[in-house]
Amino acid sequence: MNIFKTLAAGTALAVAFIAAPAAAQDGTRIALVVKSLGNGFFEAAHRGAQEAAEELGDVEIIYTGPTAPTAEGQIEIITSLIAQNVDAIAVSANDPDALVPILQRAMDRGITVISWDSGVAPEGRQVHLNPSSNELIGRMCLQLAADHMENGEGNFAILSATSTATNQNIWIEEMQSQLADFPGLNLVDIVYGDDLADKSYREAQGLMTNYPDLDVIVAPTTVGILAASQAVADADRIGEVYVTGLGLPSEMAGAIDSGATKSFAIWNPIDLGYSATMIAYNLAAGNATGEPGSEIDMGRMGMLTVGENGEAAMAEPFVYDASNVHEFASIF
Ligand code: RAM
């Protein structure tokens, strides 16, 4: 920066300070509270949030989350965000109910609250953004399992994230309620890897030991699907036990190459973080109400129509296989 620019910037700051000393905050501060740090899915969503912030201008993204995916960790973080008087909190929740009291306190203080990815019960937020239709995600997981079996017939187990995760629990319910449409599929067990790589790996090993005739592990979590693929490869069971579910091309390209999976699905996590940020911003700015039936501008993702219970869905999941995984691996 040259000296004239520095002076100009300094003057602008000084003027802003004199003109509005009590209006305090610079711009809009939006906290993106994720299930846990160190998860590539949320890191991609963060990139989308940054993109939205740059497009909006004068928006600061506070990317935060606990080290392990627990509701307690998120409650602590949200308590501190309320003390910092952020403008909006956009959370992917580790539990639909446990966060409600603290988020109600945030809303009472005038903070905009939305959930995205993994929802909070309606009384604890203004809007919830699902990545896609839950029914469709459930059906897609079953279809992927069937696609990895001969004639769509065989045994499968579900390796989920935490047992309280709103999104995975809804998708599991959807899988169970649509099982009748896939008569060849036999669900033998549901286990929880807590979105921790080591626990997910051990749970996948446990499934292979406990069910010698297991054909497919369906992991509706990017952490679980990657860990299970590694467990299958390490156990030398490639070609006998397949892994599928929801994964990131960047993390799963190796599993496609090794043959641990033939295909898996996901929506664009960058778009999801971008959309959540746009929604939080427009609610905080008073440009939208979030009322069922109303619309919210999501920038390059278009207009969102808010549905029943303040819920809406972003886009359809996309299937990745050997034909396209490497092309997308550099994106998310
Ligand atoms: C994991 C998280 C996230 C989920 C994806 C598919 O990264 O559990 O909430 O949406 O998987």
Using CA atoms of 202, 214, 118, 197 in order, give the dihedral in degrees to the nearest 10: 20
User: Do 15-130+268-314 and 134-266 fold alike per CATH?
Assistant: yes
223, 268, 332, best to mutate for ligand 1 pocket (most atoms within 8 Å of CB)? 223
- How many Å apart are CA 299 and CA 291, to the nearest integer? 19
Is the pLDDT score of 11 beyond 80?
no
Q: Tens digit of pLDDT for each residue in 127-163? A: 999 999 999 999 999 999 999 999 999 999 999 999 9
Predicted local confidence at residue 25, as pLDDT: 54
91, 163, 221, 243, best to mutate for ligand 1 pocket (most atoms within 8 Å of CB)? 221
Is the pLDDT score of 18 beyond 70?
no
Q: Tens digit of pLDDT for each residue in 257-316? A: 999 999 999 999 999 999 999 999 999 999 999 999 999 999 999 999 999 999 999 999
What one-character-per-residue DSSP string does 238-269 give? TTTSEEEEB--HHHHHHHHHHTS-SEEEE--H
Predicted local confidence at residue 260, as pLDDT: 98
Q: Please, are residues 159 and 204 in contact by the beta-carbon 8 Å criterion? A: yes
Q: How confident is the model at residue 4 (pLDDT cuts 50, 70, 90)?
A: very low
**Cβ of residue 118 lying under 6 Å from some atom of ligand 1:** yes
Predicted local confidence at residue 320, as pLDDT: 98
What CATH number was assigned to the domain covering residues 15-130+268-314?
Answer: 3.40.50.2300
Predicted local confidence at residue 178, as pLDDT: 98
H-helix or E-strand spanning residue 307? none
Which of the 8 DSSP states describes residue 124?
A: G
Q: Tens digit of pLDDT for each residue in 192-228? A: 999 999 999 999 999 999 999 999 999 999 999 999 9
**Cβ of residue 88 lying under 6 Å from some atom of ligand 1:** no
Is the pLDDT score of 237 beyond 50?
yes
Predicted local confidence at residue 168, as pLDDT: 98
Q: Tens digit of pLDDT for each residue in 71-104? A: 999 999 999 999 999 999 999 999 999 999 999 9
Is the pLDDT score of 7 beyond 90?
no
Is the pLDDT score of 6 beyond 60?
no
- How many Å apart are CA 157 and CA 191, to the nearest integer? 8
Domain boundaries, the chain: 15-130+268-314, 134-266
Average pLDDT over residues 116-125: 98
The CATH superfamily assigned to 134-266 is Response regulator (3.40.50.2300)
Distance 154 CA to ligand 1 centre (A): 26
- Output the residue whose Cα is nearest ligand 1's atom 10: 117
Which of the 8 DSSP states describes residue 85?
A: T
Token duo for residue 323: 């034909």
Is the pLDDT score of 15 beyond 90?
no
33, 36, 39, best to mutate for ligand 1 pocket (most atoms within 8 Å of CB)? 39
187 by DSSP, 3-state: which? strand
